Amino acid sequence: MLDIIFSFGLSFLLLFALMPFVIKTAIYRGIIDSSDERKAHSGVVPSSGGVGIFISFAFVSLLTIPADQLGAIRYIPSSLVVIFLLGAQDDLSPLRSFAKLLGQSIVVFILIVFADIRIIQLHGLFGIDALPYVINIVLSILFYLFVINSYNLIDGINGLCFSVVILITSLLGCWFFLVSYYEYCTLAFVVCGATLALLMYNIITATIFTGDTGSLVLGAVCSIIVIQFLDINSTIASDSMRFESPVIVVTGLMILPIYDTLRVFAIRMLEGTSPFVANKRNLHHLILEAGLSHMQAILTLLGSNVFMIVFAIQLAEIQIVFGFILMIFVSIIFTQIIRLIIVSKPSVASSS
């Protein structure tokens, strides 16, 4: 327990101490994010926070996780080097979508082939359990690419992506601890500590953004620990800690990036544009348009995520497909409520 607390604290302090240097370097090198009609911020802000996340995660995880417990974890920093370089290049000079996917595919290859971190079964979703090798490889590739990019997509307002990552890593970190998988518990809390430190620089008045470097790294780590949660859940002996429908629990944990990405991609394709062309259709943009402040938007979305996690845990014992559909239905209702608020704003203004 003390080792995990130490890992969390060291990760937090290391990133917190690194940030002033990273901010100065980013400004000097011109690694900045300027405001435009699509951005929710104003002015110029350094966008190299992901550098600190990567350094803190790689250093602290390799330092504090015992060598005999590293196992597949030893391949994770190697894969993140690739995604770190990919994100850094994109922050300096935006890459084409194809180049990003190609770079991310190299990361996924390392995680699947060398680390063997993949989705090997659907845990009863659509009545399917174990998957043939080729199918689970394809599904794992799609899952990794989807999740990595979904975290990049929700990184649109100060603190939102960080808050979601802290929520997921802290909850899964506690679960890994309770089922005695201390190496993944440490991994989760190292990410949690680093992300919390960066949040301190980002939540009220942003002095630095994570950039694509950070959001891609965070998305990759979250996808890893979620897949390990699914795998470990099916092997543990404790009935009290095992979920009958872990896919429902994962959906609840990741409902914000999953739902928002699916929704935005669908809207873009229906409009005849590429799903990778950025616009202001994300949930956080809708909430800001409804009149809420940045902080209120974050608290609304984070509170909704917490509600969906509790909802998912309650649904975890029922028929898995029904639970999955019900969660998506609740998410759609939430979106429509926001839309009704936006539509009603002009009428309120005119009546006054």
Q: Among 99-113, 174-188, 326-340, which is the least confidently predicted range?
A: 326-340
- Tokens 């909802």 correspond to what residue? 311
| Mean pLDDT score, 275-281 | 73
Q: Among 55-59, 253-257, 320-324, which is the least confidently predicted range?
A: 320-324
Separation CA 81–CA 331 (nearest Å): 35
Q: What percent of the chain has pLDDT over 70?
A: 90
For 70, counting Cβ atoms within 10 Å of its Cβ (0-12 exposed, 13-18 middle, 19+ buried), the class is middle
Which residue would you say has higher pLDDT here, 347 or 317? 317
Q: What angle, 0 to 180 degrees and rounded to 10, lies between the N-to-C axes of helices 49-64 and 2-29?
A: 150
| Mean pLDDT score, 280-301 | 82
Query: Model pTM?
Result: 0.86
pLDDT band at 347 (very low <50, low <70, confident <90, very high): very low
Which residue would you say has higher pLDDT here, 348 or 84? 84
In this prediction, residue 164 carries a pLDDT of 92
Beta carbons within 8 Å of 123's beta carbon, 6+ residues apart: 129, 230, 233, 234, 245, 246, 247, 320
| Mean pLDDT score, 244-249 | 86
Closest-CA residue to 255 (of 202, 201, 309, 217): 309
Which residue would you say has higher pLDDT here, 168 or 66? 168
Residue 6 has pLDDT above 90, yes or no: yes
Residue 349 has pLDDT above 50, yes or no: no
Separation CA 30–CA 130 (nearest Å): 49
Residue 229 has pLDDT above 90, yes or no: yes
pLDDT band at 343 (very low <50, low <70, confident <90, very high): low
3-state secondary structure string, 139-180? HHHHHHHHHHHHHHHCCCCCCHHHHHHHHHHHHHHHHHHHCC
Q: Among 126-130, 133-137, 174-178, 321-325, which is the least confidently predicted range?
A: 321-325
Separation CA 166–CA 172 (nearest Å): 10
- 177-216: pLDDT as tens digits: 999 999 999 999 999 999 999 888 877 666 777 778 888 8
Separation CA 292–CA 234 (nearest Å): 42
The answer to whether 172 touches 227, Cβ cutoff 8 Å, is no
Beta carbons within 8 Å of 119's beta carbon, 6+ residues apart: 131, 136, 139, 140, 143, 227, 230
In this prediction, residue 65 carries a pLDDT of 87
Q: Where are the beta strands (DSSP E) in the chain?
A: 32-34, 44-46
In this prediction, residue 351 carries a pLDDT of 36
